[in-house]
Structure 1
Amino acid sequence: MTKIRGSSLKKKFHQGLRKLFGVLPANFRFSIYRRMVECDPAPDLRLELKIADTQEELEDCFKLLHGAYVASGFMLPDPSGMRITIYHSLPTTTTLCAKYDGKVVGTISMIREGVFGFPLQSVFDLQQVKAKGGNIAEISALAVHPDFRATGGAILFPLMKFMHQYCTEYFDTRHLVIAVNPEKIELYEALLFFERLQANVVDQYDFANGAPAVGATLDLHHAAEIFKAGYKGRPSRKNLHRYFFMQNLPNIKLPKRRYFTTNDPVMTPALLDYFFNEKSKVFEAMDDRKKSLLWSIYDLIEYRRILPMLSGTALESHPLRRHQRYSIRCPAQIRFDVDGRSREFVLNIIEISLSGFQAECRIDVPLKVPGHASIVLGAADTSEVKAVALRSKVTDVGVFYGFRVEEADVVWRSCVTALEMGQTSADLSLA
């Protein structure tokens, strides 16, 4: 009884301190938060940061997440002992893990916009963020093992650095968005310079078991200069600008890719079956609309026995896109013969399929004129295809063209096949 009473008094004392701290001016509070930063520029090499890509790593991440969310009241206990969401099933979601001595001690997920949108879109408006251009990634599913939560950011800061580096260098991301508990939002504002999406707090956020939430965003195009100003004059171990933008951590194992893709899909048919059918009821609980969207992205025969059947619509009548599109960021040149002379255009390709691609160009591309494109799909893979621009679209961030590939070579077909199978790492045969 004495122990319980002591714990209650301690909790009330901390609540009182938070109330007193809360009356201080925001700039003063944020400055105090930044003074409390402690980031180790040379973490123990027993710490490894990588993409969770094995069944064991993913399972450990989902278990760690389940424990943290249940303890915080953000979800009810699940019989699987794991927190697995529909977003984890998508190739546009990447889960990172921090491992210490081979054991998963931290995890975080990045969700690029896919067929299900973003979790926080159910309660927050992203139109102002989208209007600025560039891809968005929702940062979600953050958890640190209880044994490391009192270590002054020894796991959290390396994990956040990995997330930032992955998003900027590999995930083709400009904007980060988050939905966090109101008690935590000031840490993101003070330390990482997130800005709120809206002033008010959402009272009930279904994705977190009805807990209150605050939405916020960070524009990575301007983050370096903002961090530099905010941490000006801070010593190395308390300087997140130096840590995020200038420091190299050998603990981080970045993905090796054969092609210039922007996603690192890991969900094989076997992994999808294990996590979403065998260990959880995520697929079973989906409505027909979500099931059909899932079928539209996993349309290879290897996935058919794994994916959930539609309850109200026969599979044969389900409309699937003829050729699935894949996110990529690669340079290209295309040559047209116009009015008796040859003209070359520099393209930035952002999406490909077996039958075409989408690209940005800074000057007007002639439509419905056959051309020859040289496309650098990877460091050792250049494709030569015949293509024609069929349409153009003017946006706030540039002009984009839709091309049809009239004649593809073996390099193009091999790349698309690898993307279809989710096999894009550098250890693929270069034959």
Structure 2
Amino acid sequence: MKRTLRSRWRRAVHDGVRRALGFLPRESRFALYRALVDCDPHPDPRLSLHIADTRDDLEACFALLHDAYVASGFMTPHPSGLRVTPYHALPTTTTLCAKFDGEVVGTLSLIREGVFGLPLQSAFDLSSVRAREGRIAEVSALAVHPAFRKTGGAILFPLMKFMYEYCTQYFDTRHLVIAVNPNKIELYESLLLFQRLTPHTVEHYDFANGAPAVGATLDLQQARLDFQTVYGHKRERKNLHRYFVETRMPNIELPARPYHTTNDPVMTPQLLDHFFNRRTQVFDSLDLRRRLLLHSIYDLPEYRDVLPALPARRPPGLALRRHRRYSLKCPGRLHLHGWSDAGPFDIDVVEVSLSGFQAVVPRPLPLDVWGTVSIELGLGVRSTLQVAAVRGVRPGGSCVYGFRIDEPDAAWRACVAALESGCTHRDLRGAVTDVPTEPDVRIVMA
């Protein structure tokens, strides 16, 4: 009873403060929020942040999220005590985890746009974001343990920094989007410089149990400059530019990648079965198209029995191409033979097979002209191939070409085999031990 009264009292105080702030001009409110920033560049060493990829860590993250969402009215209680969504089953979703003294105290999920789209696209128009170059990821499933919500951002700011570093350095993401309660949107606008997708509020957002929501976006490429403008003159613990862009925290464990992959799949067959069939029944709720998409992603025999069942006869028009578990961004240099403008050209390889690859090229190329390409598959792992472009398209300002390989070398064969057989990001870590490497030569990624 006392706890309920205290909770009601705190809620009443917070509502009163919000109403009082509402009478201030927008610039004054934002200045006040920024004055309250306290980002410690040397957090308690008992705090650790990493990708959640074990059953225990994922279970703790989903339980923390469930309790936070139930308390906020964003979901009804689930018998499992977990909040698990179909997006968590995808290899393009990464769950970040904050622990204090070994206990999960904070989490958020980054859902990069993939085969299921994004949760908020059901309520918000993303055409203006998609019109710009760069991949999109939705910041979702944010929760901090109640014991750490009054500690001046001791968990939240490190989580936000982890998110920034992961998206800009590892997740090949330029644009973040969020859907948040109207009471929270000004914190994202004032502190993190998000911009609203539309001026109005969506009154009933289904992904949050029908609660109202405001959509917003952040261009991470532009944010680096904007953080400098807004925070560059402030002292250390209030300088979010220095905190996000320059500070390095030993508390944050970024993924170790032998190849230049840009996502970190974590769902083994056992984890999919545990979270989506046994602890919840998320797979049972999926429509046929989403079931087919999951089968096209997890196309290894060991996944077959845990994925949602497919009908014996599929309706016409639902055949789907294979979708890869890993995405890539491998830098390379291409030189064409016997062409007037032979290069070399910088390219980014984004998809590989044993006999060819797709690459983003800054300019149009001739077809069926052979050349030599040197591709950095991972740090110190290089493949040199004879290739020819066989097809090309121009989506926007870049050119995407498909290349045919004359003869794959050992490094290329090993990379393709690892990507096709690996279930999770951990499976790739030992994949380069027998591959010839060139540790003294590397191509620096932009």
Give the TM bin, normalised by the shorter chain. over 0.9
2:321 counterpart residue number = 321
How far is 1:18 from its partner? 1.6
Which sections of structure 1, spanning at least 5 residues, go unmatched? Answer: none
Structure-1-length-normalised TM-score: 0.93
Aligned letter for 1:47? L
Residues 92 and 114, structure 2, Cα contact 8 Å, conserved in 1: yes
| Secondary structure of the corresponding residue to residue 83 of structure 2 | coil
**Match for 2:127: what amino acid?**
Q
The equivalent residue for 2:181 is: 181
Deviates more, 1:297-306 or 1:112-121: 297-306
SS at match of 2:394: strand
- Displacement, 1:371? 3.8
Counterpart amino acid of residue 289 in structure 2: R
Question: What one-letter code is carried by the residue in structure 1 that aligns with 2:272?
Answer: L
Q: By how many angstroms is 1:71 displaced?
A: 0.7
Return the alpha-carbon distance in structure 2 between the equivalents of residues 173 and 5 of structure 1.
Answer: 44
Change (3 A) 1:26 1:413: same
Range moving further from structure 2, 153-162 or 275-284: 275-284
1:130 matches 2:133: no
The equivalent residue for 1:74 is 74
The alpha-carbon distance between structure 1 residues 68 and 222, as it changes in their structure 2 partners (threshold 3 A), is same
Q: CA 1:260–1:19 in structure 2 vs 1: closer, same or farther (change >3 Å)?
A: same
Do the aligned partners of residues 119 and 353 (structure 1) sit closer, same or farther apart at CA in structure 2, a change above 3 Å counting? farther
- Alignment partners' CA distance in 2, 1:267 and 1:337: 44
Residue 105 of structure 1 aligns to a residue in which SS?
A: strand
Letter in 1 for 2:308: P
The offset of 1:253, in angstroms, is: 0.7
TM-score by length of 2: 0.90
Deviation at 1:38, TM superposition (A): 1.0
**Alpha-carbon distance in 2 for matches of 1:240, 1:42:** 14
- Name the CA distance, whole Å, in 1 between partners of 2:96 and 2:294: 23
Aligned-pair CA distance for 1:103:
1.0
The residue that corresponds to 1:248 in the other structure is 248
Alpha-carbon displacement from aligned partner over 1:372-405 (angstroms, at most 9, x marks no partner):
4332101132223443322222233422212234
1:335 offset after TM fit, Å? Answer: 3.8
Give yes or no for contact 1:76–1:209 (8 Å, CA) kept in 2.
yes
> Which residue of the partner structure matches residue 430 of structure 1?
433
Distance 1:235 1:205 in 2: 39
C-alpha distance in 2, partners of 1:267/1:133? 29
1:87-106 aligned within 5 A: 87-106=87-106
* Matched letter for residue 392 of structure 1: G
**1:416 alignment counterpart:** 416
Compute the displacement of 1:47 (Å). Answer: 0.5
- Please give the alpha-carbon distance, in whole angstroms, between the structure 1 residues aligned to 2:217 and 2:340: 51
The answer to whether the 8 Å contact 1:323/1:354 transfers is no
Partner of 1:304: 304
Listed one character per residue, the Cα deviations across residues 325-358 of structure 1 (whole Å, up to 9, x for unaligned) are 7421111233433369976433221232344322
One-letter amino acid of the counterpart of residue 69, structure 2: Y
Code of the residue aligned with 1:331 in structure 2: it is: P
**Is residue 2:349 matched to residue 1:346?**
no
Aligned-pair Cα RMSD in Å? 2.4
- Counterpart contact for 2:298–2:325, Cα < 8 Å: no
Offset at residue 92 of structure 1 (A): 0.7
Amino acid corresponding to residue 186 of structure 1 in structure 2: E
Return the letter of the residue paired with 1:174. R
Mapping for residues 196-235 of structure 1, pairs under 5 Å? 196-235=196-235
Between 317-326 and 276-285, the greater mean CA deviation after superposition: 317-326
C-alpha contact (below 8 Å) 1:203/1:211 kept by paired residues: yes
Q: Secondary structure at the match of 2:133?
A: coil
Q: Secondary structure at the residue paired with 1:58? A: helix
AA of the residue aligned to 2:366? P
Please state how far the C-alpha of 1:313 moved relative to its aligned partner.
3.2
> Retained in 2: the 8 A contact 1:288–1:312?
no
Q: Distance in 2 between matches of 1:122 and 1:107?
A: 24
Task: Write the distance in 2 (CA, Å) between the matches of 1:68 and 1:183.
Answer: 16
Q: Contact 1:182–1:214 at 8 Å: present in 2 too?
A: yes
Distance 2:179 2:343 in 1: 48
Distance 2:118 2:280 in 1: 21
CA contact (8 A) 2:195 2:218 kept: yes
CA contact 1:352–1:358 (8 Å) conserved in 2: yes
* Count of residue pairs the alignment pairs up: 430
**In the TM superposition, what is the alpha-carbon distance from 1:109 to its structure 2 partner?**
0.9
d(CA) in 2 for partners of 1:4, 1:430 = 58
- Cα 1:319–1:414 change in 2 (3 A) is farther
In the other structure, the counterpart of 1:58 is 58
1:64-113 C-alpha deviation (Å, 9 max, x unpaired): 11111111111111111111111111111111100111111111111111
Counterpart in 2 of 1:117? 117
* Greater percentage in strand: 1
**Residues 384/79 of structure 1: CA separation in 2 closer, same or farther (3 Å cut):** same
Distance (Å, rounded) in 2 between the aligned partners of 1:30 and 1:2: 35
Q: Which segment drifts farther, 148-157 or 410-419?
A: 410-419
> In the alignment, what sits opposite 1:18?
18
Change (3 A) 1:78 1:3: closer
Identity, % of aligned pairs? 57
Q: Which residue of 2 aligns with 1:85?
A: 85
Structure 2 letter corresponding to 1:254: L
